[in-house]
Chain A
Amino acid sequence: MPAITDDPLHVSLRLLDRRVVDVDGEPVGRVDDLAFEQDADDAPRLVSILMGPEALGARLGGVLGRVVAGAGRLRPDAAGPPEVAVTDLEEVDTEVRLAAHRDDLPFPRSEAWVRDHVIGRIPGAERSSSGGKEPGGEAGVRQPPGTGRGGEVGRGPADGGARRLRASDLLGTPVVERSGRRLGRLRDLRLRADGDVHRIDGLVTGRGVVAERLGYAYGEVVGPALLVALMRRAERRTSHIDWEDLVELTADRIVVRDGAAARPGEGAT
């Protein structure tokens, strides 16, 4: 059964910044970034979630982002941020649940490092029975294929010339029509199921995206009346663009066909 049941799925509401928990519901991190792969002319498909300061730094941007990302690279083997393949997720609902047990994950490494080198050395820091490094035998720890130790958790299939994109690469990029009309920055990505993968199906731009992130745009948040009214107004300032209308995607801008931007209620969803 696929982890992602929403169709369409808006990443800023449903995935980004959501809490990531292990199979027992213990927090292991946050969805700090997303990785996509694009083969040939297909729309990019979601391959994994990224966690940790290195991924977060890219989202934050600016000097601060570089500092945060730098802190993430202090790990001895700087092989990119911890990553979990979408196929290793158990559930994506109000939080993201992994199929694995926290003791079987190779991250967060700083947690283990601090435990072994600092906290564990302070007198009185004896371990409670429930934690620690029990090998994952107890209570049938689920360790699906591909979630093994040693960092191959979603290092991501990077084979075969597929183009790799991060959500942080895309979000914030200015979107313009071919004629030059500016549509604002890219604020959100809409994914749709395509067989057993999820591909980017639409772009959301404009200043009203706060309604999407807070959850008002899709009827999930239903009150209070004042915020509902404000968010309805904000929503009018967002534009939805179908992926098919995309003309060009570069580091600096996203070019779309003239007249591609549809407002909510005009049939773009």
Chain B
Amino acid sequence: MTRSGRRTPGRPAVLLVLLTLLATACVGPALRDDDYRRKAVASLEQLEATIAGTEVALDAAIAGRSFATSTAVTLRQHEETVSWTHTAFASRQPPPGTDAIRAAVVPLLAEASAVMGDIRIAANRTDVRRLAELRGRLGELGGRVEGSLREVRR
């Protein structure tokens, strides 16, 4: 007598599919205006949140409440986030009729990238005066991001 009545156990295949979905969910092409607009809003929101976090970190650093090492790490991570957001959005193909959105958002992202770079450099040199100056610029940039976000959202 041999074995009978086997069933295949498990659902690991489902998991695999989900993992793949998850991995690809963030990068698909933006084909329609709505998608593009949504990506623009998401990018600006990400930028806004990162700038706000950077401001908190900078304030702590300027007030001498944090170690130079941890400030450097925090700022490096935020710079990476901003430049990743910038690259991801700038390299997206805008569908016809969305050039205004692109013209509003991409320069902001580029500027933010540059400022974050400057901040990281100043932080690594523990140049507190320069940091305070850049903190002001960042605040002003944050204001413009907010305005642009309102515009793009309409």
- Interface residues, chain A, with chain B CB atoms under 8 Å away: 58, 60-65, 165, 168-169, 171-174, 185-186, 249-253
Q: Is the CB of A64 within 8 A of B3?
A: no
Chain B residues within 8 Å of A168, by CB: 3
B8–A251 CB distance below 8 A: no
Tell me whether chain A's interface is mostly helix, strand or loop, or mixed: mixed
Structural contact, B7 and A165, CB atoms closer than 8 A: no
Q: Which residues of A contact B5 (CB under 8 A)?
A: 61, 171-174, 185-186
Asked if B1 lies at the interface with its beta carbon under 8 angstroms from chain A, I say yes
A58 adjacent to B3 (CB under 8 Å): yes
Q: How close is A213's CB to chain B, nearest CB, in angstroms? A: 16
CB neighbours (8 Å) of A58 from chain B are 3
B6 touches A251 (CB 8 A): no
Q: What are 29 residue pairs bridging A and B, where the CB atoms are less than 8 Å apart in the complex?
A: A58-B3, A60-B9, A61-B3, A61-B6, A62-B6, A62-B7, A62-B8, A64-B8, A64-B9, A64-B10, A65-B6, A165-B1, A168-B3, A169-B1, A169-B2, A169-B3, A169-B4, A171-B5, A172-B5, A172-B7, A173-B4, A174-B5, A186-B5, A249-B1, A250-B1, A251-B1, A251-B2, A251-B4, A252-B4
Q: Which residue of A lies closest to B4 (CB)?
A: A173
* A65: chain B residues within 8 A (beta carbon): 6
Contacts of A253 in B (CB 8 A): 4
A165 to B1, CA, bound (A): 7
Provide the residues of chain B in CB contact with A185, threshold 8 Å.
Answer: 5
Q: How far is the CA of A172 from the CA of B3 in the complex (A)?
A: 8
Shortest distance in angstroms between A197's beta carbon and chain B's nearest beta carbon?
Answer: 20
Q: Which residues of B contact A173 (CB under 8 A)?
A: 4-5
Top 9 A-B residue pairs of the complex, sorted by shortest distance between their CB atoms? A172-B5, A61-B6, A251-B2, A251-B1, A62-B8, A62-B6, A173-B4, A169-B1, A173-B5
**When chains A and B are docked, how far (Å) is the Cα of A207 from the Cα of B57?**
60
> How far is B74's CA from A98's CA once the two chains are assembled, in angstroms?
59
Give which listed residue, A60, A165, A172, contacts B4 with CB less than 8 A.
A172
Q: Which of B88-122 contact A (CB under 8 A)?
A: none
A residues in contact with B1, CB < 8 Å: 165, 169, 249-251
A63 to B10, CA, bound (A): 12
**In the complex, what residue of chain A is closest to B12 when comparing beta carbons?**
A64
How distant is B130 from chain A, measured CB to nearest CB, in Å?
A: 52
Residues of A within 8 A of B2 (CB): 169, 251
Q: Are B4 and A62 in contact (CB under 8 A)?
A: no
Chain B residue numbers with a CB within 8 Å of A172 are 3-7
Task: State the CA gap A160–B28 with chains docked (Å).
Answer: 70
Name the CB-closest residue of A to B5.
A172
Chain A contacts for B6, CB-based, 8 A: 61-62, 65, 172
How near does chain A come to B18, taking the closest CB pair, in angstroms? 20
